Amino acid sequence: MSEEQTKAVEEAAKNPKNLGEMEGADAIGTVGRSDCGDMLRMWVKFKEENGRKVIDRATFQTFGCQTAIAVASIATEMILGKTAGEALAMSGEQLSSPLGPLPPMKIHCAQLVEDALKSALDPAAAIPAANATPVGPTLVDQITPASKVKINLLKKP
């Protein structure tokens, strides 16, 4: 990672945007990586705009490295105003593009964000607003054995 990129990652991770749970989210996705043990949850809220259902807000929580935090922060801004289909079409590389090309050992960090987004926006995995998980529990609360949250451990690429 270049010095400039390291600085950009550190800065984004130090002051992450859209960090935290979201009340009344339309969709929630949680994923984890078996190789590094990091986890990321994303909440998404939609709105109607010019006859299109677009992303109004997105937030995240993570047990992740600085790069995952930085990419999630950027991604939750980047997907605003996009339809679910448009956001689903974005790769980890696109979601992390403001940071510049990530070194090979950090590509999976952006992949974690992409996968959390996919988990949230995949209709089969989405939680309808009426049945959305209560706001109270944090990501920590949700990984207790009694939790009903589905955690997808991703295989090594």
What is the spatial order of strands in the sheet that 39-49 belongs to? 52-63, 39-49, 27-33, 152-154
Nearest residue (CB) to ligand FES, 26 versus 114: 114
Q: Are 114 and 152 in contact (CB under 8 A)?
A: no
Rounded to a whole number of angstroms, the minimum distance from the CB of residue 83 to ligand FES is 27
139 binds ligand FES (CB under 6 A): no
Residue 65 known to be catalytic: no
- Count residues binding ligand FES (CB under 6 A): 10
Q: Distance from CA of residue 88 to its chain's centroid?
A: 12
Q: Distance from CA of residue 115 to its chain's centroid?
A: 7
Q: Distance from CA of residue 114 to its chain's centroid?
A: 7
Amino acid at 42: M
8 binds ligand FES (CB under 6 A): no
- From residue 33 to residue 52, what is the string marking binding to ligand FES with x (rule CB under 6 A)? x--x-x--------------
13 binds ligand FES (CB under 6 A): no
The token pair at 36 is 């590094």
Residue 36 known to be catalytic: yes
| Residues forming the site for ligand FES (CB under 6 A) | 33, 36, 38, 64-65, 67-68, 108-109, 112
